[in-house]
């Protein structure tokens, strides 16, 4: 595992002073009673480096922090200091919590908005499921043994134990704007309103919302219309019979008005975002237990993606923000 030199570009291109201010709010002042905390920005960078370089286990991260001078310098570890241990990083994540990470994520999204990245005005919603870091509980087959928050969900012919990661994505830039994590058995329709409100409260000019038939609900469509957002969601075949509405058949071919079919094609943007988060930013390997911890892991993955996009813009490659592989080829 190597190539940490390229991470300097990402962190140097990003003004992370606001991150340090947010992190400091969950710790006491430097002169408070007790052992002084480790470098907060350094631990934040360590968590991002793990995801940006595809390090699967904290044991491997600990080994690299002991031996790789580039990584140590990147993570603000002085020559005489020990690396951040796994318990130290765990306490850091618990202290920071998802609330502050969501605040950091919103600030990064706002920076992308100021770069005029979001131009389409179309949102896409979808969910992906990640396996829990646990086996099933033999006493209660519907939940995890060492992770009691994880639940079962049928996916195709398989049944998985894990969590659902629900995302709102801007289709033009293919950047995630908001995320919610729930046990795998929570239906998408229950999560959709909170996702929509989270995104719409920060930006008022969304024109359309695109989602698959899992989100088909008149209550949700009405909620979107109340926020002046057009819902582009296919109806199941047992609803709105005889009406010219958007539908999708078993072969995933769309039918209905041509304008709605064109808009619905943009839903694939959220699938590509999920693929990148899993393939390049470590979303598929939570290596942690509990709903709160899985949300923290998810937010770190999204923050890593947003920082990579901002770095690509800073270096004059705005068209590369959707391609982490191209970014690494340029800078490695």
What are the residue ranges spanned by the domains of the chain?
1-114+298-332, 120-289
Q: What is the DSSP letter of 88?
A: H
Q: Which residue has the tokens 């919302």?
A: 209
Residue 100 tokens, joined: 């502050």
Instruction: Find out whether 122 and 207 touch, Cβ atoms under 8 Å.
Output: yes
Burial of 100 (C-beta count, 10 Å sphere; 0-12/13-18/19+): middle
CB of 175 closer than 8 Å to CB of 273: yes
CA angle 108-99-306, nearest 5°? 20
Q: What is the pLDDT of residue 33?
A: 58
pLDDT at 328: 56
What are residue 254's DSSP bridge partners? Answer: 248
d(CA 51, CA 66): 18
Question: 7, exposed or middle or buried, with CB in 10 Å at 0-12, 13-18, 19+?
Answer: buried
- Residue 158: CB partners within 8 Å, gap ≥ 6? none
Q: What is the pLDDT of residue 202?
A: 67
**What is the CB-side half-sphere exposure of residue 122 using CA atoms within 13 A?**
20
Indicate the pTM of the whole model: 0.92
Q: Are 195 and 159 in contact (CB under 8 A)?
A: no
Per-residue pLDDT of the chain (332 residues; tens, 9 = 90+): 456 777 777 777 777 889 989 998 887 665 455 677 888 999 999 999 999 888 888 899 999 999 888 889 888 899 899 999 999 999 999 999 999 999 999 999 999 988 888 887 899 999 999 999 888 888 888 888 898 999 998 877 788 899 999 999 999 899 999 999 999 999 999 999 999 998 887 666 789 999 998 999 999 999 999 999 999 999 888 777 768 888 888 888 888 889 999 999 999 999 999 999 998 898 987 888 999 999 999 999 999 999 988 888 887 776 777 777 665 555 55
Predicted pLDDT at 28:
65
Residue for token digits 């999560």? 191
pLDDT (0 to 100) of residue 1: 42
Contact 176, 108 (CB under 8 A): no
The Cα–Cα gap between 273 and 167 comes to: 9
Per-residue pLDDT at 30: 57
Q: What angle do CA 131, 134, 136 make, to 5 degrees?
A: 95
* pLDDT at position 329: 55
Q: Please give the distance of CA 220 from its chain centroid, rounded to a whole number.
A: 23
Residue written as token pair 């088909």: 216
The CATH code for residues 120-289 is: 3.30.420.10
Residue 280 phi, psi (nearest 5)? -120, -15
């Amino acid at each position: 595992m190597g190539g940490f030199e390229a991470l300097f570009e990402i962190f140097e291109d990003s003004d992370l002073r606001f991150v340090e201010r947010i992190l400091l709010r969950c710790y006491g002042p430097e002169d408070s009673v007790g052992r002084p905390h480790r470098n907060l920005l350094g631990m934040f960078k360590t968590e991002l480096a793990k995801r940006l370089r595809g390090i699967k286990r904290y044991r491997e991260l600990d080994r690299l922090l002991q031996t790789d001078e580039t990584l140590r310098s990147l993570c603000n570890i002085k020559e005489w200091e020990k690396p951040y241990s796994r318990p130290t990083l765990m306490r850091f994540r618990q202290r920071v919590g998802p609330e502050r990470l969501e605040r950091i994520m919103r600030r990064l999204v706002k920076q992308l908005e100021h770069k005029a990245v979001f131009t389409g005005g179309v949102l896409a919603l979808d969910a992906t499921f990640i396996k829990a870091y646990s086996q099933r509980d033999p006493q209660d087959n519907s939940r995890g043994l060492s992770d009691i928050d994880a639940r079962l969900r049928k996916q195709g012919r398989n049944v998985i134990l894990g969590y659902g990661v629900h995302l709102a994505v801007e289709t033009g830039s293919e950047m995630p704007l908001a995320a919610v994590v729930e046990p795998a058995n929570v239906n998408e329709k229950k999560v959709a309103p909170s996702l929509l409100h989270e995104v719409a409260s920060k930006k008022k000019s969304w024109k359309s919302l695109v989602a698959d038939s899992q989100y088909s609900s008149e209550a949700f469509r009405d909620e979107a219309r109340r926020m002046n957002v057009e819902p582009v969601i296919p109806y199941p075949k047992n609803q709105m019979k005889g009406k010219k509405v958007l539908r999708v058949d078993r072969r995933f071919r769309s039918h209905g008005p041509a304008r709605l079919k064109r808009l619905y094609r943009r839903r694939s943007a959220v699938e590509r975002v999920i693929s990148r988060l899993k393939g390049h930013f470590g979303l598929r390997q939570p290596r942690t237990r509990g709903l709160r911890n899985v949300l923290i892991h998810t937010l770190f993955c999204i923050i890593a993606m947003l920082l990579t996009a901002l770095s690509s813009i800073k270096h004059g490659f705005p068209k590369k923000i959707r391609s982490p592989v191209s970014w690494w080829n340029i800078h490695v």
